[in-house]
Amino acid sequence: MAHDWCTATRILEAWIQLENALRATLPVCSVRPPTQPSELLYALRINRKIGQGEEARILALREIRNRVAHTPKEPSQDEADHFEEEVEALTAHLAGGPSEAC
């Protein structure tokens, strides 16, 4: 997934992809779609779309994303590569789960 973009942009773009995949994993029949990241993770957990391991990985990625978004220091190439790999793995996990109807 590596691009010629700066590493911060790669991380921010990958986070958007992960967030979209997380939202797409929720059942369509959710009464009120979550707006906060903690609400989204809670909804995914109670719907058994993610477990504690996936939640911990997502939270770790969120910390990196927030640091990158709010500091001028450019992340390393290795950090961007690892971030993208984690997002790809989590996205594949979310896509591989059984889809439940309401």
Q: What is the pLDDT of residue 3?
A: 45
Please check whether residue 71 lies inside any domain of the structure: yes
Taking 50 as the pLDDT cut, the residues of the chain under it are 1-4, 102
List, for residues 83-95, the tens digit of each pLDDT value: 999 999 999 999 8
C-alpha dihedral, 87 to 93 to 95 to 97, nearest 10° = -160
The count of structural domains within the chain is 1
Question: Residue 77 sits in which domain range?
Answer: 37-94
> 93 with 54: CB under 8 angstroms?
yes
> 11 with 75: CB under 8 angstroms?
yes
Please check whether residue 88 lies inside any domain of the structure: yes
CB atoms within 10 A of CB 36: 8
Q: Return the closest-CA partner of residue 70 out of 14, 8, 16.
A: 8
Please state the pTM of the whole predicted model: 0.84
Please check whether residue 86 lies inside any domain of the structure: yes
| DSSP of 40-86 | HHHHHHHTTSS-HHHHHHHHHHHHHHHHHHH-SSPPPHHHHHHHHHH
Q: What is the pLDDT of residue 11?
A: 97
